[in-house]
Amino acid sequence: MTLKVFNTLTKQKEEFIPVEPGKVKVYVCGVTPYNHPHIGNARPFVTWDVIRRYLEYRGFDVLHVQNFTDVDDKIINTANAEGVTWDVIANRYIAAYFEVMDKLGIRQAHLYPRVSEHIPEIINMVKTLVDKGAAYEVDGDVYYSVADFEDYGKLSGRTLDDMQAGARVDVDERKKHPMDFALWKSAKPGE
């Protein structure tokens, strides 16, 4: 039986053919550990656990990687409010994440890279995007320029005109386009 998946680019079901025969690499964006995990945090990890288990059942060798965004304004704000360092907060809620996922029976990923462990690589990638004109700096912050990427929104099937700026966060007037998003934020006083 052929495994088929929905391809968001072509908008149709297609045969699943791994890049490397018999092997599947899955990278999943993980949580930002600034508070206790909740059911909304768990949903995507339940989904990826089911997908991973099914792929392994079908005989694939799966490498499952899930990051922790352990450098974030919410973590820093929580740390400042409690009078502790950012890593105390991140480590506390990473431990809480594992406790909850274990109780749900979700298998752990093979690797859990942390943003804090890859800052030099992130800086290099952001610099590359700025050098290529895909991102720009404003007052030490760096934003991805969505209007300069011709295919932005292609996977979701939405255009920039369809998207509503300010629906989730306040629009930063310094940005070239309201939908531009932060790739790097400069340190604020006390950070």
| Domains in the chain: ranges and CATH | 22-117 (3.40.50.620), 119-184 (no CATH)
Q: pLDDT tens for residues 29-44?
A: 999 999 999 888 899 9
First-to-final CA distance of the chain: 54
Q: pLDDT tens for residues 114-157?
A: 999 999 999 999 999 999 999 999 999 999 999 888 888 888 88
Q: How much is the pLDDT for 165?
A: 57
Range 79-82, long-range pairs (CB < 8 A, 24+ positions)? 80/190
Assign 173 a pLDDT band (cuts: 50, 70, 90): confident
Which has the higher per-residue pLDDT, 24 or 173?
24
Phi/psi-derived region of residue 166, left when phi > 0, alpha when psi is between -120 and 50, beta in every other case:
left
Q: How much is the pLDDT for 177?
A: 87
Q: How much is the pLDDT for 167?
A: 57
- Angle between helical axes of 86-104 and 73-82 (0-180°, round to 10): 110
Q: Is 50 helix (H, G, I), strand (E, B) or coil?
A: helix
- Average confidence score pLDDT of the chain: 92
Q: What is the pTM of this model?
A: 0.85
